[in-house]
Amino acid sequence: MARGVATVGAAVGASSCPARVGPGEVVGEPVVKARPVGGRYGGAVTATNFPDGFLWGTATAAHQIEGGNSNNDWWAMEHDPAALCAEVSGDACDSFHRYPEDVAMVAGLGFGSYRFSLEWSRIEPEDGEFSRSALDHYRRMIGTCLDQGIVPVVTYHHFTHPRWLAARGTWEWDEAPGRFARFCERATDHFGDLIQMACTINEPNIVATMGWELGIFPPRVSDVSRRDVVNAALISAHHKASEAIKGSKGEFPVGLTLSMADFQAEPGAEEALEAIRRPAEDVFLEAVGGDDFFGVQTYTRMRVGPKGYLRSEPGVPLTQMGYEVWPEALEGTIRRAWEKTGGIPLYVTENGIGTSDDAQRIDYITRALGGVQACLEDGIDVRGYFAWSLMDNFEWVLGYGPTFGMVAVDRETFERTPKPSATWLGNVARSNAL
Ligand code: GCO
């Protein structure tokens, strides 16, 4: 999503295995063919190669692709004329039904992993009421990944909240972290034995900033002090959730992902930069030291002057989101994450570009991956790269306008058509080399 105040303003202003079991059957155990999650880098990195076991994947999120997620706070906001949504999510990419095709596509293209999210409002439609059918659905989906030789990376929370939680204040309700941990435990009890890697919360900093500071995401509050309360609640929720997941079935790495920008200060703006970056990134980076890994999600840089965010630099091209095309930001943010987290294993859990020009996407990712290689050469433990996104999807308040996908989706028929970037990055993944 948009990386900060200036770009958010600009972007919003600009537009505003096949299922192995049938119903009622007992879910069987899939054959685990997936390769293990990458280990610490030990071999030589040449100019073009990545370490053995480097995990290549693509990422999506439930609300952006599943369709019909009518029981969450986003769906409610999309239908509120007072909100700024360009359009409703509706059927999205119909991936709730088409996931076997999607997972087969990920595998067929050459990727080793698929990162996707659980829809909390499907699994727990009312407070304390769990849906066996929804839990079985995600178990089948994770099993499908394993059947296809794909490492399933499960995100437990990606921006949406069940309506019952929103009615109680979402993250301002002091029971919310505990409720999230309970959901994580129930889900892990049901399919943790199949999970190979998990992210608790996707970009808590964006949830808090966009929802409680900028008033753009639900619940559309603009109040910095409430943003700080939500930041703290999300950190608590991450810790409680990690503990609940680790106490349940399975054994797999658990971590947090964060939206990071390569913050660059104009001369004399160092303090202004620190004041912006602390609540936006540092409070989270300082809270993940004991985790198994950390997920870096980067799209651009943010320039800061003495009075705050600066507009894009003249001459620098902009993406469909309204922010600078700046693939070098990935290297800067990996280096900072490594330093601030005290050197825990890193994955790039999201990186990509909203563009209608697929050649620009290939160029962007090539340059971003060059930054990953520079980090690896310096001994930074980067273990994988997930492109955002597998397919064109619902880009939150901006609707279906921005196209981040390596696969196009027909909005009428849901037909998937891989773009050249999908084949290209799949080949990079297969050869483990640029
Ligand atoms: C985020 C989310 C994704 C976005 C992507 C493009 O980073 O905001 O994880 O849901 O769609 O970043 O903006």
Give the Cα separation of 334 and 286 in Å (integer). Answer: 15
Tell me: pLDDT of 169 over 50. Answer: yes
Per-residue pLDDT at 233: 99
SS3 for 136?
helix
Give the Cα separation of 279 and 341 in Å (integer). Answer: 15
How does pLDDT run across 122-165, given as a tens digit for each residue? 999 999 999 999 999 999 999 999 999 999 999 999 999 999 99
Give distance in angstroms: CA of 304 to centre of ligand 1: 22
Tokens standing for 413?
A: 């028929």
User: What confidence tier does 44 reach under pLDDT thresholds 50, 70, 90?
Assistant: low
Give the Cα separation of 197 and 183 in Å (integer). Answer: 17
Identify which of 66, 281, 350, 394 to mutate to test ligand 1's pocket (most ligand atoms within 8 A of the CB).
350
Range in 22-31, 321-330, 375-384 with the lowest mean pLDDT: 22-31
Identify which of 256, 325, 388 to mutate to test ligand 1's pocket (most ligand atoms within 8 A of the CB).
388
Name the residue among 421, 414, 393 with its Cα closest to residue 62.
393
Give the Cα separation of 426 and 119 in Å (integer). Answer: 27
Give the Cα separation of 401 and 325 in Å (integer). Answer: 17
Residue 53 phi, psi dihedral angles, 5° rounding: 85, 0
CB-based contact 362:420 (threshold 8 Å): yes
Q: Which residues face 377 on adjacent strands?
A: none
Give the Cα separation of 317 and 325 in Å (integer). Answer: 6
The CATH number that domain 5-431 falls under is 3.20.20.80
Measured by CA distance, the residue closest to atom 10 of ligand 1 is 1
Cis peptide before 219 (omega within 30 of 0): yes
Residue 243 phi, psi dihedral angles, 5° rounding: -65, -45
Mean pLDDT of 373-378: 97
Give the H/E segment covering residue 369: helix 358-377
- 159 CA: nearest ligand 1 atom: 10
How does pLDDT run across 303-314, given as a tens digit for each residue? 999 999 999 999
How does pLDDT run across 186-208, given as a tens digit for each residue? 999 999 999 999 999 999 999 99
Give distance in angstroms: CA of 1 to centre of ligand 1: 4
**Averaged pLDDT score across all residues of the chain:** 91
Tokens standing for 227?
A: 């943003």
Tell me: pLDDT of 47 over 60. Answer: no
Q: How many other CB atoms are there within 10 angstroms of residue 267's CB atom?
A: 7
Per-residue pLDDT at 386: 99
Tell me: pLDDT of 285 over 80. Answer: yes
Mean pLDDT of 8-17: 27
User: What confidence tier does 48 reach under pLDDT thresholds 50, 70, 90?
Assistant: confident
Q: How far is CA 353 from CA 171, 299, 359, 378, 392, in A?
A: 30, 7, 11, 26, 11
Measured by CA distance, the residue closest to atom 2 of ligand 1 is 1
Tell me: pLDDT of 41 over 60. Answer: no
User: What confidence tier does 84 reach under pLDDT thresholds 50, 70, 90?
Assistant: confident
Mean pLDDT of 374-385: 98
Give distance in angstroms: CA of 165 to centre of ligand 1: 22
Tell me: pLDDT of 25 over 50. Answer: no
Give distance in angstroms: CA of 31 to centre of ligand 1: 32
Per-residue pLDDT at 38: 40
Give the Cα separation of 411 and 54 in Å (integer). Answer: 34
